[in-house]
Amino acid sequence: MNYEDYMKICRFLVIDVYHLKCLQFVLLLSKLSAMFLVIVQTYQFLARFEVDYFVQDGPSYFIGLYVLTCLLAQPLVTETVESIAESVEQNTSQNIIKSVPKRAKKSAFYFFIYVVWTTMTSVLVAISLMIPTKDDDDFFFLFKLANMYLPKWSNFFKFLCRCLAMPLTYVGATIACFNILYSFQIVNLQVQRYQQQIKKINATKATNQKEITRNLKSLLNSFSFSENSAWKAAKRMQFIVLPLKIMGSALMMSIVVFYFWFEGSLRDQYFRICAITIMSFTALLGTAWAGQAIEDYKTEIFNALVEVEWYDWDEFNKKMYLMLLISLSKPIKIKFSENISVNYEMGVQVLTCLLAQPLVTETVEWIAESVEQNTSQNIIKSVPKRAKKSALYSFIYVVWTTMTSVLVAISLMIPTKDDDDFFFLFKLANMCLAIPLTYVGATIACFNILYSFQIVNLQVQRCLQQIKTINATKATNQREITRNLKSLLNSLSFSENSAWEAAKRTQFIILPLKIMGSALMMSIVVFYFWFEGSLRDQYFRICAITIMSFTALLGTAWAGQAIEDYKTEIFNALVEVEWYDCDEFNKKMYLMLLIFLSKPIKIKFSENISVNYEMGVQMGKAFFSTISVMERLHKSKSGSF
């Protein structure tokens, strides 16, 4: 099988299958059924408040919500991917490279295997839902509803539900990952052709300027067309992504709660739950991989383009090359998995922080030493006002966070009657270790990132002052302008290299910190609702831990975003420089600075893996609000409201 064969099969499963009339009828019936079930089940939850009832029917409820979201999103998603495919096919006719590169063939083969595997897992889930078990009446809300209100028709509704299991699981498992992966394959083919075209440009002799011009024009037109198609697709999909994320996260959380709540009972449902978990994990893995790959490909083209030997080209080709560089310097960002948390558990968060502490501290010390060495070469020696002000705010933040960590430690050290139930470890060890553990857990991420931010901030403010100095220098004094530009370019290059080295050192720490941080948030939410009314002596501790976590999170997010924005701030200051009267050498240096600064810093702290920020809080608020409403309605119904 070649590339076209793999893509034909995948296209049928991703796009063409939804054009079948019989499937369209089944999906319409499924939409109506899912909408009816969600409305009725929502009413039942609000009318009848029981924790067991909510947890037991939670997975089926959230599965219904997720599938309904997928069914409603399916026409728009399919249409968008189809339009991308058609646009790329039209654009391919204008491309000089017609062949399919080896890397694209290999990627299509892997995609084919993934599609087959995911389809098999969705079929496995469907079969597990279709096979009757003795607990079905307790597990499926539709069965329960049919037995209560339509006992004569209950067998018919059960049969209908089992028949719809296959299309519903297929749509739910594949609507997001298959379409994103198919789009990725289309983009991948174009990227590999672009790289071949760049190699062809580089291999063309400098004497043949017409051939270089033809290749550059083709590359620029193709890339602009692809960029426009990508932005149109993103604009269409922006209203679908958030509901899919929220429903998917809610589904996973409900499965976890169901498993631990009914451990030992409803054992016949464990195979179904495991099959759904495998299917969900497969879909999530494919989506994350494709998203990251699409982001990286633009950078890959940029890196190939900067190696082109453009020095002997004519002025027109140099300008086109510059347009390509500027166009490619801004990376693609797919907003698919930001600010949604993963949620796992607490004690491991402290352990992760302890293991990470030596490397993080060593990295921050290395950054500080590197910047101090570089400062000696900088023309601006003074500390700007904005840097002083920022340092004061950081000092206040550090004092506040330290105080909250001490407060948490004290709350853990004061004995209560519930300690034997709350602490897994014996009391003496807990009391002795409370202060160092809470301090490290609260500060290892936020303090080090904030300290690095202050170092970067000082350099940024000095760079901004240096740009003002360049702008204030008269055009007749070209040597002074050259000296300032060289100093600025050296400082920025040094800072960039330091940032990449630091990122390389800490790349293995970020993921565990993120996962365990989300675990902490989930454990607090589950603890609160699980032991509501008991273990009241622990509520103050939980509140103190929540305040400490929120403070650390706030500082980390603020510092990370500020570091990302500072490079843009320097770029915006640089474009205002009056460079028109500079000599050719200074113009080239100024151009190098512009290209260098046009690519923003991106801290790999909140991409494709959910980040612990909002979802834990969102889910907590959602649970709290839902349960509060249920309590009020329940009291109102009983006449005590």
CA distance 520 to 526: 10
CA 621 distance to own-chain centroid: 21
Residue keyed to tokens 């502490």: 357
| CB contact at 8 A, 476 and 386 | no
- For residue 529, pLDDT beyond 70: no
CA distance 258 to 277: 13
CA 493 distance to own-chain centroid: 28
CA distance 269 to 254: 14
Highest mean pLDDT among 113-127, 244-258, 577-591: 113-127
CA distance 357 to 196: 45
Higher pLDDT, 50 or 478: 478
| CB contact at 8 A, 551 and 400 | yes
- Number of residues assigned to the chain: 641
Highest mean pLDDT among 90-94, 147-151, 196-200, 627-631: 196-200
Residue type, 300: E
Enter the pTM of the model.
Answer: 0.49
- pLDDT-based confidence at residue 157 (cuts at 50, 70, 90): confident
Tokens of 216: 């550059």
Q: What is the mean pLDDT of residues 192-198?
A: 78
Give the 3-state secondary structure of 406-430: HHHHHHHHCCCCCHHHHCCCCHHHH
Lowest mean pLDDT among 311-315, 567-571, 591-595, 625-629: 625-629
Q: What is the mean pLDDT of residues 217-229?
A: 72
Tokens of 381: 């020696």
Tokens of 534: 């008991």
Higher pLDDT, 221 or 209: 209
Lowest mean pLDDT among 253-257, 409-413, 511-515, 635-639: 635-639
Residue 283 is predicted with a pLDDT of 72
- For residue 117, pLDDT beyond 80: yes
CA distance 397 to 555: 8
Residue 613 is predicted with a pLDDT of 34
Q: For CA atoms 175, 39, 143, 265, give the dihedral sign.
A: positive
Lowest mean pLDDT among 51-65, 119-133, 387-401: 51-65
Lowest mean pLDDT among 57-71, 504-518, 596-610: 596-610
Q: What is the mean pLDDT of residues 367-391?
A: 62
Highest mean pLDDT among 86-90, 195-199, 362-366, 589-593: 195-199
Residue 334 is predicted with a pLDDT of 45
Higher pLDDT, 343 or 603: 603
- For residue 163, pLDDT beyond 60: yes
Residue 260 is predicted with a pLDDT of 58
CA distance 641 to 624: 18
CA distance 351 to 238: 38
- For residue 503, pLDDT beyond 70: no
Tokens of 233: 């697709």
552 burial (CB, 10 Å; 0-12 / 13-18 / 19+) is buried
For the segment 543-562, what is each residue's pLDDT rounded down to a tens digit?
777 777 777 767 766 665 66
CA distance 18 to 452: 51
Lowest mean pLDDT among 171-185, 421-435, 481-495, 612-626: 612-626
Lowest mean pLDDT among 42-51, 92-101, 264-273, 353-362: 353-362
- Buried b / exposed e over 451-460, threshold 16 CB at 10 Å, is bbbbbbbbbb
Highest mean pLDDT among 24-33, 324-333, 338-347: 24-33
- pLDDT-based confidence at residue 337 (cuts at 50, 70, 90): very low
- pLDDT-based confidence at residue 330 (cuts at 50, 70, 90): low
Residue 357 is predicted with a pLDDT of 41
Residue 350 is predicted with a pLDDT of 38
Q: For CA atoms 186, 191, 197, 199, give the dihedral sign.
A: negative
Tokens of 631: 């309590």
Highest mean pLDDT among 54-63, 233-242, 262-271, 550-559: 550-559
Residue type, 384: P
CA distances from 529 to 229, 499, 624 (A): 47, 43, 8
Q: For CA atoms 326, 328, 329, 333, give the dihedral sign.
A: positive
- pLDDT-based confidence at residue 444 (cuts at 50, 70, 90): low
Residue 52 is predicted with a pLDDT of 57
Q: What is the mean pLDDT of residues 5-27?
A: 78
- For residue 287, pLDDT beyond 60: yes
Higher pLDDT, 464 or 623: 464
Percent of residues, the chain, with pLDDT higher than 90: 0
CA distance 255 to 611: 20
Domain residue extents for the chain: 3-328, 347-611
Percent of residues, the chain, with pLDDT higher than 70: 50
**Average model confidence (pLDDT) for the chain?**
67
- For residue 280, pLDDT beyond 80: no
